[in-house]
Amino acid sequence: MRIGILGTGSLAEGLGRGWVRAGHELVIGGRSRAKADALAERLGGPTRAGTPREAATGRDAVLLAVLWEGVEDVLRSAGAADGQLAGTPLIDPTNAVEHGVGVLLPEHPGGAAGQIAAAAPGAHVVKAFHLFPADQWTRPPGNGGDNSDGNGDGDGAPGPTVAICGDDETALRITSDLVRDVGGVPAVLGPLSRARQLEEVAGFVIGLAFAGVDPASAIPHVPSRTVTA
Ligand SMILES: NC(=O)c1ccc[n+]([C@@H]2O[C@H](COP(=O)([O-])OP(=O)(O)OC[C@H]3O[C@@H](n4cnc5c(N)ncnc54)[C@H](OP(=O)(O)O)[C@@H]3O)[C@@H](O)[C@H]2O)c1
């Protein structure tokens, strides 16, 4: 796939590394051209740096890997308001939360993803990749172990579930493929109106982690329900 990445920080690098490994062609666009050049150089493969507008144009998917405070700026430079992202899957991994506390900042009823969709008319926004740390996606696949789970990391265990939501079937399918490409297991929670709930989960995890509690210990083990047709 031809993927645009807006942002040049840790998540851009983590997912970028996984997607280059999977054979995708990336264009990195950030507010700093020097940082975009440096990241493209580090990622290697058919990766190049460009302007945010170039990273957003003619892509099969675009990842919005910037801090919440930079989202409006970067979408403006990408031409989102002029419809530059119309018809494009726009993956939103942002955590728009108060640092260390986890309270959501966006006042938009649809949360960060809803606000992003409003700022990028016609884009097919998918909330995804906001819960796991960037280095989750940099682990090289295949260590010579058991690959029976098919996720390529060689440990025989399924990768982390990446809950995603969005309104466009094609964008959900493309994002699901991109989740699998980095060793995750996609799970579609529902339409984009569920994004605020996914964002609150991140706020819950961040809030507990900063309070010194392992967030995983605060979630009951509920067996998954098997639905048979
Ligand atoms: N890192 C993770 O583990 C992780 C995991 C899940 C989700 N996320 C989410 O992913 C997004 C990126 O996180 P990150 O860890 O990659 O952050 P980061 O390493 O701090 O990089 C932030 C990126 O945002 C850009 N940026 C910041 N302010 C901006 C502005 N006003 N205008 C334009 N660009 C601006 C930065 O540009 P400059 O370098 O020029 O400042 C940089 O490219 C965040 O929303 C975060 O919540 C991160």
| 122-151 tens-digit pLDDT | 999 999 999 999 999 987 655 444 445 555
Nearest in space to 56 (alpha carbons), one of 22, 93, 31, 89 = 89
In the prediction, which pLDDT does 229 show? 56
CB 56, CB 80: distance < 8 Å: yes
In angstroms, rounded to a whole number, what is the distance separating the alpha carbons of residues 84 and 102? 32
In angstroms, rounded to a whole number, what is the distance separating the alpha carbons of residues 125 and 71? 14
DSSP output for 12-37:
HHHHHHHHHHTT-EEEEE-S-HHHHH
- What number does the ligand 1 atom closest to the CA of 72 have? 32
Which of 67, 95, 139, 182 to probe ligand 1 with, by most ligand atoms within 8 A of CB?
Answer: 67
For 2-134+147-214, the fitting CATH number among 3.30.230.70, 1.10.3720.10, 3.40.50.720, 3.40.50.300 is 3.40.50.720
Tens-digit pLDDT profile for residues 29-57: 999 999 999 999 999 999 999 999 999 99
Residues with CB under 6 A from ligand 1: 7-12, 30-32, 35, 65-70, 73-74, 93-95, 130, 133-134
* C-alpha distance from residue 86 to each of 25, 144, 203, 218 (Å): 20, 42, 29, 40
27 DSSP β-pair partners: 4, 48
User: Would strands 124-127 and 161-166 be described as parallel, antiparallel, or unpaired?
Assistant: antiparallel
Tens-digit pLDDT profile for residues 86-113: 999 999 999 999 999 999 999 999 999 9
Average pLDDT value over all residues in the chain: 92
In the prediction, which pLDDT does 147 show? 47
In angstroms, rounded to a whole number, what is the distance separating the alpha carbons of residues 28 and 51? 8
Residue entry with tokens 């639905």: 227
pLDDT at 226 > cutoff 80: no
93 Cα–ligand 1 center, Å: 10
- What number does the ligand 1 atom closest to the CA of 77 have? 33
Residue entry with tokens 């530059």: 84
In the prediction, which pLDDT does 144 show? 40
In the prediction, which pLDDT does 139 show? 76
206 Cα–ligand 1 center, Å: 16
In the prediction, which pLDDT does 145 show? 43
Q: Nearest residue CA, atom 7 of ligand 1?
A: 130
